[in-house]
């Protein structure tokens, strides 16, 4: 298994003003994060407009979607937006796309799109990737995958993959999913594996109550049961755990909830100098 160099992102999608959004992007850059990621929901800022503003406020920070719901836009529309954002950002855009998040059909309907069958959403995702790959400056492509068809598509075409697993998923369950993924293609080992960090806190009792709205349950119970989305302890402990996850599961790319980006920054600093290894 090839170990990739660590990468770190911030997931954010809301701001009270343009100045606040620009400050979030600049803060992420100052703290040493590689990329600012934005979800694709009607409860967050419009992805391409917000990422263009973030790119304009920074100089090295990459920007990306996490992830576009493929049914919400035609492949041609995504390619147009991607080409524009690649130009505006001087090539710092990364395209994340998937077949649709849970309950994403409501957003698609509100936008006048067609949700379609699982097979149709898989085909729309593949067509969106193909359209982006044909651009003069094609972006790095992230695919969110959970079902077999999307997993195969990701293994064959993605540069980065994140697994659409429940918030309570444990590291051992993640590792088994990653191993199954690597068995799907002779290039799957080249793909970066991304894992979202929902929260980083010194103890489970420090987890805020509002997290329950994001994870659909009691975050303290999930963290206590070993859910991989929660990192509990100090920065040294978290760094050791992420090193283990890279070594045992191949997860080298971590995207933290933006409300924890300052707290998580010391972990980024500790891991920034570690070197990837290549193992059999």
Q: Is the pLDDT of residue 38 over 90?
A: yes
Q: How many CB atoms lie within 10 A of CB 88?
A: 17
Rg (CA), the chain: 18
Q: Is 279 a domain residue?
A: no
- The per-residue pLDDT for range 211-234, each reduced to its tens digit, is 999 999 999 999 999 999 999 999
Q: Is 1 a domain residue?
A: no
Q: Is 277 a domain residue?
A: no
Which residue in 56, 48, 227 sits closest to 139, CA to CA?
48
pTM of this prediction? 0.95
Q: Is 172 a domain residue?
A: yes
Expressed as residue numbers, the domain containing 45 is: 7-271
How far apart are alpha carbons 179 and 73 in whole angstroms? 32
How far apart are alpha carbons 26 and 7 in whole angstroms? 17
Q: Is 280 a domain residue?
A: no
How many structural domains does the chain have? 1
How far apart are alpha carbons 186 and 277 in whole angstroms? 19
Question: Model confidence at 274, in pLDDT bands (50, 70, 90)?
Answer: confident
**Which ranges of the chain would DSSP assign to H, the alpha helix?**
18-30, 47-56, 75-88, 105-110, 118-133, 148-157, 171-182, 211-215, 219-224, 235-249, 261-271
Q: Is 276 a domain residue?
A: no
Q: Is the pLDDT of residue 249 over 50?
A: yes
Instruction: Write the DSSP assignment of 64-99 as a string of letters.
Output: EES-EEGGGS-HHHHHHHHHHHHHHTTS-EEEEEES
CATH label of the domain that carries residue 34: 3.20.20.30
Q: Is 227 a domain residue?
A: yes
Q: Is 81 a domain residue?
A: yes
Is the Cα torsion angle 83, 84, 87, 92 positive or negative in sign? negative
SS3 state at 208: coil
* Residue 87 contacts residue 63 (beta carbons within 8 Å): no
């Amino acid at each position: 298994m090839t170990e990739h160099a660590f990468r770190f992102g911030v997931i954010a999608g809301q701001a009270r003003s343009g100045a606040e959004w620009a400050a979030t992007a600049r803060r992420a850059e100052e703290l040493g994060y590689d990329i600012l990621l934005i979800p694709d929901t009607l409860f967050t800022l419009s992805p391409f407009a917000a990422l263009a503003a973030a790119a304009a406020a920074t100089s090295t920070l990459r920007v990306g979607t996490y992830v576009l719901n493929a049914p919400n836009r035609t492949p041609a529309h995504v390619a147009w937006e991607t080409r524009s954002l690649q130009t505006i950002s001087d090539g710092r855009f990364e395209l994340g796309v998937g077949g649709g998040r849970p309950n994403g059909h409501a957003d698609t309907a509100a936008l006048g799109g067609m949700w379609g069958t699982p097979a149709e959403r898989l085909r729309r995702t593949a067509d969106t990737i193909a359209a982006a790959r044909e651009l003069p400056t094609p972006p790095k492509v992230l695919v969110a995958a959970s079902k077999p068809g999307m997993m195969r598509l990701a293994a064959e075409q993605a540069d980065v993959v994140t697994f659409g697993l429940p918030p309570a998923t444990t590291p051992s369950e993640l590792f088994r999913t990653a191993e199954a993924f690597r068995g799907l293609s002779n290039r799957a080992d080249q793909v970066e594996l991304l894992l979202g960090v929902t929260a980083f806190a010194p103890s489970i009792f420090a987890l805020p109550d509002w997290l329950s709205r994001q994870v659909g349950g009691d975050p303290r119970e999930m963290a206590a049961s070993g859910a991989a989305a929660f990192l509990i302890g100090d920065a040294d402990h978290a760094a050791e755990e992420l090193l283990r996850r890279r070594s045992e599961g191949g997860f080298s790319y971590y995207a933290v909830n933006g409300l924890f980006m300052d707290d998580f920054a010391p972990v980024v600093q500790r891991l920034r100098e570690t070197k990837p290894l290549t193992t059999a």
